[in-house]
Amino acid sequence: MTLWVVDTGPLLFLAKVGHLDLLRRGADSVYIPQAVWQAVCAKPDTAYVQIEHATSAWLQVATVTNTEAVELLLADLDWGEAEAIVLAKTLKADYVLLDDLEARRFARRAGLRPVGTLGILLAARMRGEIPSLQFEIDRLQTLGFRATTELIKAVLQEAGE
CA 63 distance to own-chain centroid? 17
- pLDDT value for 151: 93
Domain ranges of the chain: 3-118
- pLDDT value for 123: 94
Q: Regarding the domain delimited by 3-118, which CATH topology (the fold level of the hierarchy) does it fall under?
A: Rossmann fold (3.40.50)
Rounded Cα gap, residues 131 and 116, in angstroms = 19
- pLDDT value for 44: 85
- pLDDT value for 36: 96
Rounded Cα gap, residues 103 and 15, in angstroms = 21
* Cα end-to-end span (Å), the chain: 32
Cβ proximity of 133 and 121 under 8 Å? yes
Residues of the chain falling short of pLDDT 70: none
Span 41-78, pLDDT tens digits: 998 888 999 999 999 999 999 999 999 999 999 999 99
Rounded Cα gap, residues 91 and 88, in angstroms = 5
- pLDDT value for 1: 80
Rounded Cα gap, residues 122 and 118, in angstroms = 6
- pLDDT value for 25: 87
